[in-house]
Amino acid sequence: DVKVTQSSRYLVKRTGEKVFLECVQDMDHENMFWYRQDPGLGLRLIYFSYDVKMKEKGDIPEGYSVSREKKERFSLILESASTNQTSMYLCASSFLRQGLNYEQYFGPGTRLTVT
Amino acid sequence: SQKIEQNSEALNIQEGKTATLTCNYTNYSPAYLQWYRQDPGRGPVFLLLIRENEKEKRKERLKVTFDTTLKQSLFHITASQPADSATYLCASHQAGTALIFGKGTTLSVSS
């Protein structure tokens, strides 16, 4: 079975702190994604990566950065956390075949609260 | 811009009935559509993928259809059970890049 793990299930940080969220997948997937999910807004893509050291902006990249130094690991960084970044953060991975993305496998999520 | 929409936020049905959820897309022609299930506080779980040249796909009590004329996918759960209560998301790719997701329909099955 595909396994996607996230470093924390719950996290509480103070405004202005630098926050690292880590995601690891064990299926040798090329693609990895970071989403945030908020009530009424659905899943919104922050960043994604097709390969090591490659990254693409999603729909809401402002205030975030990412790092992919190894194929299995994708990190989301909040450079200076703000209260409007309180949210559920979901990592996902998938194969890339014939230029199209296939089904995504999600981690359990990290509920981040910024106070 | 490309959009994928699930018109119903919530659907309430009785146990044993068939639940039908709708997903509509506009301004593009996706090569496939996907359906996911999400339980509260958990990540979405992939259920089914249907390609544009497939009219229908089944998996146990689940059935998905893809109508390129109506620009719509229907997701059916037959003989629904309280354990089917969850939020169901449809998704598709946008111009060959990442997936875009609908906001989901929350299904409640009462016994």
Torsion sign, CA atoms B4, B93, A76, A104: positive
Stretches where chain A sits below pLDDT 70 are 2, 98-101
Tens of pLDDT, residue by residue over B33-89, are: 999 999 999 999 999 999 888 989 999 999 999 999 999 999 999 999 999 999 999
Interface test with B, best of A1, A43, A56 (most B CBs within 10 A): A43
Q: Which of A48, A90, A100 sits opposite B31 (nearest CB)?
A: A100
User: What's the maximum distance between 2 C-alpha atoms anywhere in chain A?
Assistant: 44
Phi, psi torsion values for B83, nearest 5 degrees: -70, -15
- Asked if B89 is an interface residue toward chain A (Cβ–Cβ < 8 A), one would say yes
Give the tokens for residue A84. Answer: 């409007």
**Per-residue pLDDT tens digits for A57-72:** 999 999 999 999 999 9
CB A109 within 8 A of CB B43: yes
Q: Cβ contacts (< 8 Å) between A111 and chain B: which residues?
A: 41
In 3D space, the residue among A109, A36, A44, A61 whose CA is nearest the CA of residue B4 turns out to be A44
Cα of B51 to nearest chain A Cα, Å: 11
